[in-house]
Amino acid sequence: MIKYLFQPFEIKGRRLQNRIVMPALASFLIEDDGSITDKTVEHYRRRAAGGPAMVIVEAHAVSEEGIVSLHQARIFDDRFIEGLSRIARVMKSEGALPAIQIHHSGRQTSSRVIHRKPLAPSPLPCPTIRGEVEPLSLEGIQEIIRKFGDSAVRAVQAGFELIEIHGAHGYLINQFISKFSNIREDAYGGDTARRARFAVDIVKEVRKRVGEDFPISFKISAQEFVPDGLGVEESIEILKLLVEAGIDLVQVSAGNDATPEWICQPMFMEKACLANSAAMIKKALPIPVMAVGRINDPLVADAIIGEGKADLVCLGRGLLADPEMPKKAKEGRLDDIRICIACNTCMESIFRKGRVECLVNPTLGREKEMELRPAEKRKKVMIVGGGPGGLHAGWVAALRGHDVHLYEKDSRLGGQLNLGSVTKYKKEILSLIEFHKKQVEKAGIHIHLNAEVTLDTVTSEKPDVVILSTGAKPVLPHVPGIHRSIVVGLSEVLNGNPAEKAIAVVIGGGATGCEVAHHLAEHGSSVTIVEQLPKIAMNLESITRKVLLQELKDRGVRFVTGRKLSRVEETGVVVTAEDGAETFIEADTVVIAVGNKPDNRLYEELKDLGIPLYQIGDCLEPRSAKAAISEAATIGRSI
């Protein structure tokens, strides 16, 4: 039961209807010239309409050399005010307090983006982007401080009612306040107070420009998890100085450019993993505190407020996954919430595609074009396969008014994601299955379990449309000994408790192989991963990959790369290098995880019937589940 989350709150005379805040998250819906589009406005309107008390619009660069990417929002010129005012107006009209974050990237950008050397407090390059930087002069520091003040004035003119200064995540202000990135020896470097001076001066400038009654928030990485990085105790010292300078609210985050897993936490990490540091800061400061960090569930958020760890909670990725989460939680419709599963698809899509996407919410960023419209003609739709793709397609089709019949050959819905959610750190994937099962039930879809569909089934049922979501079959290497008793499939490992103290070899170092190896190692097995490529887990999102590799190393998993399986013997496997050299690896269990091939048998039987026929991809991995759900969302809207 939710007790505390919907209590009102007040910041400097601004009333918040509840304790939920959407923090600043890059939408990648900004044009290359920084202009705001209808898509940008609609994105923020949807989030505000979902019921959070406050929405902080994504980080806005205060100067031209301070942008991170061409898709970053800008506020360094008056020409941006008109577009920003559209966002502020629409959010306010939906009942959310419109807030905005102002920001400078410092060294954490590329010369390819800003066409000059990035600015920094010291001659230390960004550890991830690298490249030469230009240390700021005293005159340069003062110029940036003024630009923060100028940007704050524009934010007020655009209609925003709270300004947040981005002092976290390895960007310029964070670079100044941390010994990890600041080795200056002047008035802006050295001890804690001098390293904090840049942030203090910015807060004072913003306060002077916006007046005493306007609320100012500061976002800090209270822990950086690097040598010489910030910890909670030093962050408290810095924040006390910032309170004196004029901040009214603090958002307690973590991580920097070297530790991105603490900025956008993958599913390995516990929910609300930063709430305790927020609680420590709340005890030490006289101003309200916002907690952030894998808070994806209104019950978890409610507990943070109820336990006094924070005054407000930030639901970021959770509101990308389901913008109506606050409204649904207030109405007690917890089963209707699409929970963020922390797969970091949103981060992966930004870096690989230049746009933000979500595994569980395929309409993210294209809400208008993906609006559901009633079907022109009611059709009988047959869905074959009860994985997330089939479930989503059926749900969407039913919402549009079609008569949907879903067939699943297994005794339960969920498909390969039932296997994919077995390992300890992927349990939350079950929420994706449960959400779809609930929606399918509410939509009145006819479910047929233990029902293998054949050509005869289709011809006798006479559907108007058939959607195949039949998944895939595991690939087995064609090598001698592959059918020996020590060789097991993924389902044998994941459908029960793996044997403890086994000596296991996992053939295949992709995402699936690594996750199975992690599962085996957690149960006490000695595990070796064999991968033909020079590196493992290359198909994983980079933050998840970093954490997973460290987890595997911590559990003693051995990596053998650049080798392929040649044969399976009674007591192990023989693997071969590119030069033909053979190596024997002892094992009593050999797990094959080299991939899947589509199960197209039914498609081949049905393709000549003349019935509209669609296919949706398999979904063992979250990355593939994203493709399946995305395809399902499109097909369900088109039939």
- Enzyme catalytic residues: 171
**What are 184-190's contacts with CB under 8 Å, separation 24+?**
184/121, 184/122, 184/135, 186/138, 187/138, 188/121, 188/138, 188/141, 189/121, 189/122
Q: How far apart are CA 443 and CA 400, in angstroms?
A: 10
Three-class SS of residue 350? helix
Q: Return the closest-CA partner of residue 511 out of 534, 529, 472, 537.
A: 537
| Residue 58: φ, ψ to 5° | -50, 160
C-alpha to C-alpha distances, 168 to 230, 244, 252, 449, nearest whole angstrom: 10, 19, 9, 50
Q: How far apart are CA 282 and CA 291, in angstroms?
A: 10
Q: How far apart are CA 74 and CA 182, in angstroms?
A: 26
Specify the amino acid at residue 387: G
| Residue 61: φ, ψ to 5° | -70, 135
| Residue 239: φ, ψ to 5° | -65, -35
Q: Return the closest-CA partner of residue 626 out of 541, 557, 522, 526.
A: 541
**Alpha-carbon torsion (606, 608, 610, 615), positive or negative:** positive
| Residue 527: φ, ψ to 5° | -125, 135
Beta bridge partners of 424: none
C-alpha to C-alpha distances, 350 to 29, 472, 479, 634, nearest whole angstrom: 11, 28, 40, 21
Q: Which residues contact 584 (CB under 8 A, 6 or more apart)?
A: 569, 572, 573, 574
